[in-house]
Amino acid sequence: MIEAIIVRRSLLIIFFTGGRFSFNDELGTEMLAGGMFSNDDGAFQTFRIEASRRINNNWKWELEVNSIFNTKSDQPIDNIKDDDYLQVGISYYF
């Protein structure tokens, strides 16, 4: 998937690209990953990963990572540059 956001100031174009991977295995392994970059320098500005997998019939682990970097002060994303996070979870289903 590729998506483009056009910001009228100085023709800055921000692209988002990502993919979803389902490994079609018995434990339901899934991963969703994506990133956003601009045409200004081509460097990634955000990166996001979500992953999950069942441990057995009752337990499942989940991972979520979001990182923002390489921002410039004149870009709108600069306001949230310190909002990186990592979330790990284990769920029990009965």
Residues 78-88 pLDDT 10s: 667 778 899 99
What pLDDT does 1 receive?
62
Name the strand (E) or helix (H) holding 15: strand 12-22
Q: Residue 72: which domain range?
A: 2-92
What pLDDT does 4 receive?
62
What pLDDT does 58 receive?
94
What pLDDT does 73 receive?
73
Instruction: Quickly list DSSP for 38-56.
Output: ETTT--EEEEEEEEEEESS
| Count: domains in the chain | 1
Q: Please check the confidence at residue 27 and state whether its pLDDT lies above 90.
A: yes
